Amino acid sequence: MTLMNQHDVAWLLQTVAKKMGFWGLLGVCITGLSAAYFYSNIVSTQQRIVEAEATIAQQSSSNKQNAPIETIAQPTNSPKALADFYRTFPTESAIPDTLAEINRLAAKQGIYLNSGDYKLNKIKVQRGTASTPVLTQYEMVLPLESSYPSIRALTVSILHQLPSVAVSDIQMMRDSTLSPFIEAKLVLVLFVRGD
């Protein structure tokens, strides 16, 4: 820049500064600093995103290499496999222990099982021999009155801790939308070996 150009630029800046005043200059400075700060943060954030994506890609490729190969179990119809399957179920003598466990899980959620209807059903085997074990269904209809989270937690804990118990049906009813309690009917089926 020549000396003349420097004087022209200085004169132009002084004229603009006088017209803008103190607050105008302050606004221009703040805008300029904000733009510089914003730009520097965008660049650093984009660099972190690229690094994170590279790390995730590296971890996923190493997990795929180290992951065990899962094989799908082929169904077997052999009598031994069927007998082993039936042996996983508890015997009828385990019914009182299972009922005590259900009561314990209910009490843990603040639900007290005061009554219930119980029914025992034999499951007929379509094909098999006389030595093939027969399953027995022990159906329990339990009326409950509690909050929804407690009833849900009870149902989940029964299913997780008692693998031979299935939820056959659950019905819920609330008298009023403002009522915190739900009246429910929980139908559980306990599968036992009918030796």
Least confident of 101-105, 116-120, 133-137, 189-193: 133-137
What's the average model confidence in pLDDT over 88-113? 88
pLDDT tens-digit map of 28-46: 888 888 888 888 888 888 8
Residues 148, 53 within the same domain: no
Residues 57, 3 within the same domain: yes
pLDDT of residue 21: 82
Residues 11, 47 within the same domain: yes
What's the average model confidence in pLDDT over 5-16? 80
Q: Which of 48, 70, 92 is the last residue of a domain?
A: 70
pLDDT of residue 124: 62
Residue 146: strand, helix, or coil: strand
Least confident of 2-11, 33-42, 85-94: 2-11
pLDDT of residue 137: 87
Domain membership of residue 185 as a residue range: 79-193
pTM score, whole prediction:
0.55
Residues 93, 63 within the same domain: no
Residues 102, 176 within the same domain: yes
Length of the chain: 195
Q: Compute the CA torsion angle 175, 102, 156, 149 (nearest 10 deg).
A: 30
Residues 148, 177 within the same domain: yes
The answer on pLDDT for 132 being more than 70 is no
> CA-CA distance, 151 to 111, in Å (whole number)?
8
Residues 10, 62 within the same domain: yes
Q: Number of structural domains, the chain?
A: 2
* Percentage of the residues of the chain whose pLDDT score is greater than 70: 84
Residues 41, 125 within the same domain: no
The answer on pLDDT for 153 being more than 80 is yes
Question: Please, are residues 158 and 167 in contact by the beta-carbon 8 Å criterion?
Answer: yes
What's the average model confidence in pLDDT over 86-109? 87
Q: Which of 40, 70, 100 is the last residue of a domain?
A: 70
The answer on pLDDT for 131 being more than 60 is no
Residues 17, 55 within the same domain: yes
Residues 86, 169 within the same domain: yes
pLDDT of residue 34: 87
Residues 51, 88 within the same domain: no
* Percentage of the residues of the chain whose pLDDT score is greater than 90: 17
pLDDT of residue 68: 58
* CATH assignment at residue 154: 3.30.70.60
> CA-CA distance, 159 to 6, in Å (whole number)?
84
pLDDT tens-digit map of 57-79: 887 776 665 555 555 556 666 77
Residues 172, 100 within the same domain: yes
pLDDT tens-digit map of 154-179: 999 999 998 889 999 999 998 888 88
Q: Which of 29, 47, 70 is the last residue of a domain?
A: 70
Average pLDDT, the chain: 81
Both tokens of residue 28?
A: 């221009």
